[in-house]
């Protein structure tokens, strides 16, 4: 369909943590491009996930870049520790950063790619002045905190508007979409301008996760 590279990033939030090693090995054998890790602090979102030691252990087996999505307040306190734990891409929330420009440049100076994420109620236009500095924008297509939620349809419009901004500003950041993504809406999301498809329950909840990833890679 398109010449652009489409990235698929399975979200390990929906993985079976009793068999995490096997799940990582399975993803290493898949067409997945990045491994998406959701970090939740129980404050920014009403859920708590996992932290540095799990990230480091995943890093030791993973043969893909770690795409770490921080759903935490005041992420500045921990940027260095996420770098040390093995994050390759570090995404912070727009809503959680008072000095976003400083946070983004610190992420980059620690050798990671920098992403900024927005919740469903935040307009992409608010990102205009940070866009020249980021490697990635993550559009949340559910209210963050949990896997397995229903995709919010308004996200298509947001991705289209963001893709248009990228074009008129002459920028090349990637557009990532996260929440309720599956083979059923992947093509429409890519057509709207998404480059990176995050999927948790659609991949890890499937009988054949590798097949689902393959479907999303070959739209």
In the complex, which residues of this chain contact ligand DX5 (CB under 6 A)? Answer: 11, 13-14, 36, 38, 69, 142, 144-145, 147-149, 178-181, 198-202
CB of 180 to ligand DX5, least distance (A): 5
Question: Binding of Zn ion at residue 67 (CB under 5 A)?
Answer: no
Sign of CA dihedral 187, 191, 196, 201: negative
Q: Least Å distance between CB 5 and ligand DX5? A: 20
Q: Clarify whether 178 is annotated catalytic.
A: yes
- The tokens for 103 are 């946070």
Q: Does 93 bind Zn ion (CB under 5 A)?
A: no
Please name which of 183, 169, 200 lies closest in space to residue 6, comparing C-alpha atoms.
Answer: 183
Q: Enter the DSSP assignment of 124.
A: G
Contact status: 69 vs Zn ion (CB under 5 A): yes
What share of residues in the chain are helix, strand, coil (percent, to 5)? Answer: 45, 20, 35
Residue closest to 167 by CA, chosen among 197, 115, 210, 124: 124
- Alpha-carbon span 154 to 147, nearest angstrom: 19
Q: Min. distance of Cβ 36 from Zn ion in angstroms? A: 6
Kindly name the residue from 33, 135, 178, 195 that is annotated as catalytic.
Answer: 178
196 has which bridge partners?
7, 176
User: Active site residue: 38, 41, 67, 195, which one?
Assistant: 38
Q: Quick one: 64 or 170, whose CB is closer to ligand DX5?
A: 64
Residues designated catalytic = 38, 178
Q: In the complex, which residues of this chain contact Zn ion (CB under 5 A)?
A: 38, 69, 178
């Amino acid at each position: 369909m398109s010449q652009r590279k489409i990235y698929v990033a399975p979200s390990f939030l929906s993985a079976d943590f009793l068999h995490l090693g096997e799940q990582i090995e399975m993803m290493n054998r898949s067409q997945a491009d990045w491994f998406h890790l959701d970090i939740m602090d129980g404050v920014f979102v009403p859920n708590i996930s996992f932290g540095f030691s799990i990230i480091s252990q995943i890093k030791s087996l993973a043969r893909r870049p770690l795409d770490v999505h921080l759903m935490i307040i005041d992420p500045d306190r921990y940027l260095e520790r996420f770098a040390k734990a093995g994050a390759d891409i570090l995404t912070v929330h727009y809503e959680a950063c008072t000095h976003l420009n400083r946070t983004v440049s610190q992420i980059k100076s620690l050798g990671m790619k920098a992403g900024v994420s927005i919740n469903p109620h935040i307009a992409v236009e608010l990102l205009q002045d940070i866009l020249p500095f980021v490697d990635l924008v993550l559009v949340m297509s559910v209210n963050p905190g949990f896997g397995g939620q229903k995709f919010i349809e308004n996200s298509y419009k947001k991705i289209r508007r963001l893709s248009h901004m990228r074009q008129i500003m002459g920028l090349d950041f990637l557009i990532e979409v996260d929440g309720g993504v599956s083979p059923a809406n992947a093509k429409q999301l890519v057509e709207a301008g998404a480059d990176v498809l995050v999927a948790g329950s659609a991949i890890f909840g499937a009988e054949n996760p590798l097949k689902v990833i393959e479907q999303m890679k070959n739209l």
